[in-house]
Amino acid sequence: MSENPKIEKLRLDDDDGEFGARQQKPDDGKPATVYLAETFYITTKKNSQFEVKLTERGICLRKESNGSAKEQVIYMKDIIGCRCLRSKRKGQVGSPCACSSMPGPAQLKVVDEHSADLDESDVSAYLYIYAYILKKAGRRGRGSRRERTTLTLRFRSFDCYEDNNREAQKWRTAIKQLINGESPDLSPKLIEQRRMLILLNPKSGSGKAREVFQQRVAPMFAEAEIAYDLHVTKRAFFAREFVRTKDVYTWRGIVVVGGDGLFWEVINGLLERSDWQHALDQIPIGIIPCGSGNGLAKTIAHVYGEPYEPKPILGSTLTVLRGRSVPMDLVRVETRSEIMFSFLSVGWGLIADIDIESEPLRPIGPQRFTVWSLHRLISLRTYHGRISYALANCELSNHNSGVATNKLNALKHSISCNTALDCPECHGEGDCETCDTGFGDILSLETTSGTNSFRPRGDSWYSATSRRSTYFSASESVYQSINDKHSEPDSSFKYDKSTAQMFGPASTIPALTAPVPSTWKSEEGEFVLVHTAYQTHLGSDCFFAPHSKLNDGIIWLVIIRAGVSRSQLLSFLLGLSSGTHIPETKSPFIEIIPVTAFRFEPSGTQGNITVDGESVEYGPIQGEVFPGISRVMAPVFS
């Protein structure tokens, strides 16, 4: 190969049309449709070329160098978005642009194509493709995690920017459509999607939700080019009243940035609408965990095999960016004074005490539960009352107690933000000979330069929203309530129970004041803990109901009776983190029962009852499950 070869762009067969499709055999042997293909060169090596193909599976990179060829795929399920940019004019004075990379002598800065600072002498069009690649647990004990990758394709086959941009936009359009689960077509431009509604509680957890959103979440929304309206809650029940009164169909989905309490507000606000059924069916709800417990976010990650620790914000943000949703059960809860809907749990006794009494320790985050668990273990309480329940039509042995995961295809090799590969020998550690596959330097690829084949090639650079860049907000999105925390509350959003009416599905069990059906089982006595759950996790480190699914129509009832020893109780509390808290052999003191409805009737007036971790009136309470009536965002792939 000559030093400066003149290579024509790879075109699809004429019979297929300009945007036609050819068949390619992927690793699994099944044919994959090829929508676009192009030949690129690497910026640092002139004796290597890449054939890049866009298929329904992802972006296939085939490197040909010195007579050998190697392939790698960046899967579509790991790609969140792409942007078209232009190079920035050199020698600008002043503060750096928000979408520019960190300064460096050999780094090309980029700007939006409409920027006044663009370098008109560079007719190239740059396509940034953003991916968060799943890396499986390595031999050295590291857990699964996602690593950020930016693939840069430089289009410069033509001598004018318009022609190069047309090629880049063609790829951008096709990638966007595949991300949305659509088949690429010849549409001249993308159909703009509705915006996301983001509700943020600045006091969630340790009070850093606003900072987390601006520094970690907003840049990823910019990468995915998803616009949003951000509303920061001002008081309790702000979100509940907001979704009850606003036209929620303006948005494509609701994203909760906070804890389980804020998610509970949104669910109940939607169920206070007369069109509740349509709203729950059409508006999926996602959660980005910034609270103390974060049980729902951990459950979603656990059920679908998405890495949660050590970066729960990353995985949850990727989930809401994909916009996929699945059905989720809700439980209709009735007390003497109100009706509400629950998505997580109802508790009476030990865990309810820990939830409520540890509130003064909220600034320390999730550790508050551990500290107060030890305190309650030392000063153990029991509660007298009666519990009743309707058994579910299932057997506990039929449920798999192991970790539920979706069968994601593991990457054979993964490009990371530091260009390390997920080598099967060293798992990306770089300490073996086989990890030098030749794909570690493909972050920036380019086409030929048209008639001027001697045009200098640009060096690689960091992406516009990399963690090395200064980026805090997306200019195309709207922020509401973010600068007015000292303003007077808007009276129109003051929640008033007397004016709100709970709709939702009608109850199928007797009213709280009526006797339970004769088919129910009942037990009266002294209890340390009575707790129901319909998610696997009550908190990020509380694996309470290992057999639970998001949409199985089952409530898992855990009973701990008086007489349990402190050593047994300690074993129970320690086992909550791993899901081994229920004894393998039948115990007279600790039991887990699958039910479809329940009723708790405490004696006396002292104690705590919680619904989704929030305190409710102490007294009789009952609940029944309604399978799959809501939709929650989850990392599912079509």
| Catalytic center residues | 260
The answer to whether the Cα torsion of 118, 120, 121, 122 is positive or negative is positive
| Helix or strand holding residue 125 (H, E) | strand 125-135
* CB-based contact 150:467 (threshold 8 Å): no
What DSSP assignment string belongs to 398-465?
GS--S-----PPPPSS---TT-----TTTTTS--SGGG--S-TT-SEEE---TT-TTPPPPPP---TT
Long-range CB contacts (< 8 A, 24+ apart) of 188-191?
none
| Tokens encoding 466 | 């990399």
Measured between alpha carbons, how far is 152 from 83 in angstroms, rounded to an integer?
10
User: Do 612 and 342 touch, CB atoms closer than 8 A?
Assistant: yes
Residue ranges with strand state E in 207-247: 228-232
* Residue pair 609/264 in contact by the 8 Å Cβ criterion: no
Q: SS3 of 369, please?
A: helix
Q: What is the C-alpha to C-alpha distance for residues 192 and 197, in angstroms, rounded to an integer?
A: 15
Token match 């909220």: residue? 362
Three-class DSSP category at 155: strand
Instruction: Look at residues 487, 497, 480, 483 and name the one whose alpha carbon lies nearest to residue 241.
Output: 497
Give the span between the Cα atoms of 394 and 309, in whole angstroms: 32
Residue with tokens 């999105």: 477
DSSP assigned state of 362 = G
Angle at 131 between CA 129 and CA 133, to 5 degrees: 150
Question: What residue spans of 288-418 are helical by DSSP H?
Answer: 295-303, 312-322, 350-357, 367-378
